[in-house]
Homo-oligomer: A and B are copies of this chain.
Amino acid sequence: MNHPSPKGSWRWMAYETNAGEFNCLATQERQTAESMMRSIFRKVDCVHCKFSRACLPFGLTPEEVGHLETIVKRKRPINSDEYLFRQEDHSNSLFIVKSGSFRSFIWDIDGGEQTIGFYLPGEFIGLDALRQGGRHHCSAVALETASVCELPINRLNELSAKIPKLQSQFLRIIGSQIVSDQVTIVLLGNRSATVKVAAFLLAMSRRYKALGYSGTEFNLTMPRHNIANFLGLSIETVSRQLGSLSNSGAVSIKNRGVQIKNLTLLEAIVEPGLTNQYSCANY
By a beta-carbon cutoff of 8 Å, the part of chain A in contact with chain B is: 106, 108-110, 112, 114-117, 127-132, 137-138, 153, 157-158, 160-162, 164, 167-168, 171-179, 181-186, 188-190, 229-232, 271-277, 283
Given A167-B160, A177-B178, A277-B106, is A229 in contact with B114 using a C-beta cutoff of 8 Å?
no
Chain B residues, CB < 8 A from A115 = 189
With known contacts A167-B160, A168-B157, A175-B132, A109–B271 Cβ distance under 8 A = yes
Knowing A157-B168, A167-B161, say if A175 contacts B128 (CB, 8 Å). Answer: yes
Set of chain B residues within 8 Å of A168, measured between Cβ atoms = 157
A-B contact pairs, 10 of them (CB 8 A): A109-B271, A110-B273, A112-B273, A114-B190, A116-B185, A116-B186, A131-B179, A160-B161, A161-B167, A188-B188
A273 CB → nearest B CB, Å: 5
A109-B271, A131-B176, A190-B229 known; A181-B171 Cβ under 8 A: no
B276 touches A109 (CB 8 A): yes
Q: Which B residue's beta carbon lies closest to that of A177?
A: B178
Q: How far is the CA of A56 from the CA of B131 in the complex (A)?
A: 13
A167 to B158, CA, bound (A): 10
**Least Cβ–Cβ distance between A84 and chain B, in angstroms:** 16
Is there contact, CB below 8 Å, between A137 and B274?
no
Q: How far is the CA of A174 from the CA of B153 in the complex (A)?
A: 13
Please judge, given known A-B contacts A108-B273, A116-B186, whether A172 and B132 are in contact too, CB under 8 Å: yes
Q: Write the chain B residue with the least CB distance to A105.
A: B186
B283 touches A132 (CB 8 A): yes
> In the complex, what residues of B have CB within 8 A of residue A127's CB?
174-175, 178
Residue with the greatest number of chain B CB neighbours at <10 A, chosen from A176, A179, A232: A179
List 15 other contacts, CB 8 Å, given A161-B167, A189-B230.
A106-B182, A106-B274, A108-B273, A109-B274, A114-B190, A116-B185, A132-B176, A157-B164, A157-B167, A157-B168, A161-B162, A161-B164, A181-B181, A184-B185, A189-B232
Rounded to whole Å, the gap between the CB of A149 and the closest CB of chain B is: 18
Closest approach, in angstroms, between the C-beta of A264 and any C-beta of chain B? 15
User: Which residues does chain B contribute within 8 Å of A190, judged by CB atoms?
Assistant: 112, 114, 229, 232
A79 to B117, CA, bound (A): 37
Query: If the complex has contacts A128-B178, A161-B167, A172-B132, are A109 and B272 also in contact, measured as CB distance less than 8 A?
Result: yes
